[in-house]
Amino acid sequence: DQQVKQNSPSLSVQEGRISILNCDYTNSMFDYFLWYKKYPAEGPTFLISISSIKDKNEDGRFTVFLNKSAKHLSLHIVPSQPGDSAVYFCAASGGGGADGLTFGKGTHLIIQP
Amino acid sequence: DTEVTQTPKHLVMGMTNKKSLKCEQHMGHRAMYWYKQKAKKPPELMFVYSYEKLSINESVPSRFSPECPNSSLLNLHLHALQPEDSALYLCASSLAGDYGGYTFGSGTRLTVV
């Protein structure tokens, strides 16, 4: 049973436009959510996170929105740049920390020039 | 120092070999994690250490044996592995009891022959 779902395996966006990556979760105990960017054969690189007490967190070109009632979060990247092409993982955790992350299957973002 | 360092980066081992993966961090994090990632799959949690004590073992086979000698080091001892254990093994660390600074290493690419 997948507790964190990223239903789009891939997404293609033109350079300069907005990229929106979506993530849904089923476990209501999750209270912290993170987005990671990953290149092949490398470890995930942290991008941005959000606590369940917030509905939005912004850091430069990256904004994460959380809709708790819908158990849905999204990552907005604007403007999209060629270097943003990578696999993006949504991850969730609960229980106060130090209990590991549950990852979605990832979305491969391709930025077209 | 804001990094998690994993060695070796690549490892090829036979099914009768014994080898160890190493992970080190000097960020004062008191929670450390091992994840396994197969190709085109998300990272999957294997073990969690909190304050040098094993707190989570996600039903990992005994041919994988974790060890946390001190607050900065985490090892994964490997013995009698199978070819299907070939994967990218990722170490991560974070502030225990908090999600702060959840950082991944770049991983060890393990091939079992």
CB pairs under 8 A between A and B: 66
- What is the mean pLDDT of the segment spanning B75-85? 97
Q: What is the mean pLDDT of residues B11-22?
A: 96
For chain A, what percent of residues have pLDDT higher than 90? Answer: 82
Average pLDDT, whole number, for chain B?
92
Assess whether pLDDT exceeds 60 at residue A52: yes
Task: Work out the pLDDT band at A24, boundaries 50, 70, 90.
Answer: very high
- Which whole number is the average pLDDT over A80-96? 90
**Quick one: pLDDT at residue A104?**
96
Percentage, residues of chain B above pLDDT 70: 96
With CB atoms and an 8 Å threshold, state whether B106 touches A97.
Answer: no
Do the beta carbons of residue A97 and residue B96 sit within 8 Å?
A: yes
- Does the CB of B96 have a partner CB in chain A at under 8 Å? yes
CB contact under 8 A, B50 and A34: no
**pLDDT surpasses 90 at B1:** no
Q: What whole-number distance in Å separates Cα of residue B63 and Cα of residue B43?
A: 19
The predicted pLDDT at position B100 comes to: 63
pLDDT of res. B45: 93
B41 to chain A nearest CA, in Å? Answer: 6
CA atoms of B81 and B15, how far apart (whole Å): 5
User: Searching chain A, which residue's CA lies closest to the CA of residue B45?
Assistant: A100
| Cβ distance of B104 and A46 shorter than 8 Å | yes
pLDDT of residue A90: 96
Question: What pLDDT does A83 receive?
Answer: 94
For the segment B93-111, what is each residue's pLDDT rounded down to a tens digit? Answer: 988 766 667 899 999 999 9
B23 contacts chain A (CB < 8 A): no
Burial of A89 per CB tally in 10 Å (0-12, 13-18, 19+): buried
| Chain B residue whose CA is closest to A32 | B99
- Ordered strands of the A19-25 beta sheet: A4-5, A19-25, A72-77, A62-67, A56-59
Q: Say if residues B89 and B34 touch (Cβ distance below 8 Å).
A: yes
Closest CB from B45, B58, B88 relative to A41: B88
The stretch B33-46 carries a mean pLDDT of 93
> Which candidate in B2, B11, B59, B102 is best for mutational testing of the A interface (most A CBs within 10 A)?
B102
Among A103, A107, A108, the strongest candidate for a mutation testing the B interface, having the largest count of B CBs within 10 A, is A103
Look at residue A42 in the predicted model and tell me its pLDDT. 84
Residue B43, pLDDT above cutoff 60? yes
pLDDT at A101 over 70: yes
Give B53's strand partners. Answer: B50
Whether residue B4 and residue A41 make contact (CB cut-off 8 A), yes or no, is: no
